[in-house]
Amino acid sequence: MEEEKNKFLSSQTIFRTLAFLVLINIIFLDVFLFKDKKIEIIEKTVPVPAISNSCPVSCLSEISNATKGAAFSIKPPPSLTPAPVIKTTSQVQTPIASSVKEFFVPFGAGSNSSDDWQDISGLRATLDPANYGSIKTVIFEATIRIPTGNEIAYVRLYNATDKHPVWFSDVSQEGGTPQLLTSKPIMLDSGNKTYQVQMKTSLKYPAYLDQSRLHIITN
């Protein structure tokens, strides 16, 4: 009987010990495992003060006054109006119509070996200065070639109608290199006249006139 009683007491002790360990375990789990969740729940339940997006009336009044003051203090930029351009008399250019014209009256080519003035056959032209309007200058032009190169050859224009040379129309060349010769400005007689080309040489060797013409420039 005593033995059964001891067994009973021993089983109760074991049961109590197990119950105590289970309780300790529950407390451990409750404290350490659910600690963070409890804190999170507490944090979520803490009310956060609402921040109002609206500005008080006094604030709006201050902003309005500051904006008006800034608007009045800013002056608009002056209008960029281009300054009028005043042209002086020297800058104003008046177009000038050019009426200058050039005319060439060809006579032709020939040769001569006389030591006195002689007409070159076929080298003549008939013209009236009035047909060219206002004449500025008239020049007689000729190209002479001397094969021997050891004499002087002369060429001039002759008024066959009035029987006199055209004054200042004489040109001459010495040597064998061909050259374009130009006379001084000459005067043509008024009216319809026939002009003849004449030549002469200093030593009677042949001299050649490669071309001859009148160069007329009008205003």
pLDDT of residue 90: 47
**Who wins on pLDDT, 55 or 182?**
182
* pLDDT tens profile 118-144: 999 999 999 999 999 999 999 999 999
131 DSSP assignment: G
Q: What is the mean pLDDT of residues 107-117?
A: 97
Strands, E assignment, the chain: 101-106, 110-112, 118-127, 135-145, 152-159, 164-165, 171-174, 179-182, 193-201, 207-218
Q: What is the pLDDT of residue 39?
A: 47
Higher pLDDT, 24 or 160: 160
**53 — pLDDT class (breaks 50, 70, 90):** low
The per-residue pLDDT for 74 is 55
Helix, strand, or coil (residue 96): coil
> Each residue of 35-44: pLDDT tens digit?
555 445 444 5
Per-residue confidence (pLDDT) for residue 16, from 0 to 100: 78
**Contact status, residue 127 vs residue 195, Cβ threshold 8 Å:** yes
- Cβ–Cβ < 8 Å for 142, 181: yes
Task: Name the amino acid, one letter, at 149.
Answer: G
Domain 101-218 has CATH 2.60.40.740: no
Q: What pLDDT band is residue 46 in, cutting at 50, 70 and 90?
A: very low
The answer to whether residue 86 scores a pLDDT higher than 80 is no
Q: Of 28-32, 67-71, 165-169, 181-185, which range is least confident?
A: 67-71
Q: Which of 179, 206, 180 is nearest to 111 (CA)?
A: 206
Among candidates 178, 120, 182, which has minimal Cα distance to 149?
A: 178
* Torsion sign (Cα): 142, 175, 158, 181: positive
Query: Side chain identity at 140, as an amino acid letter?
Result: F
Q: Tell whether the model's pLDDT for residue 87 goes beyond 90.
A: no
- Give the residue with greater pLDDT, 175 vs 51: 175
pLDDT digits (tens, 9 = 90+) for 57-80: 666 566 666 655 554 455 555 555
pLDDT tens, position by position, 162-171: 999 999 999 9
pLDDT attached to residue 13: 76
Q: Name the one residue in this structure whose structure tokens are 């375990």.
A: 25
Q: Strand pairing partners for 105?
A: 214
Distance CA 68, CA 74 (A): 10
User: Which pLDDT score is estimated for 54?
Assistant: 55
55 has pLDDT over 50: yes
Question: Over the chain, what is the mean pLDDT?
Answer: 80
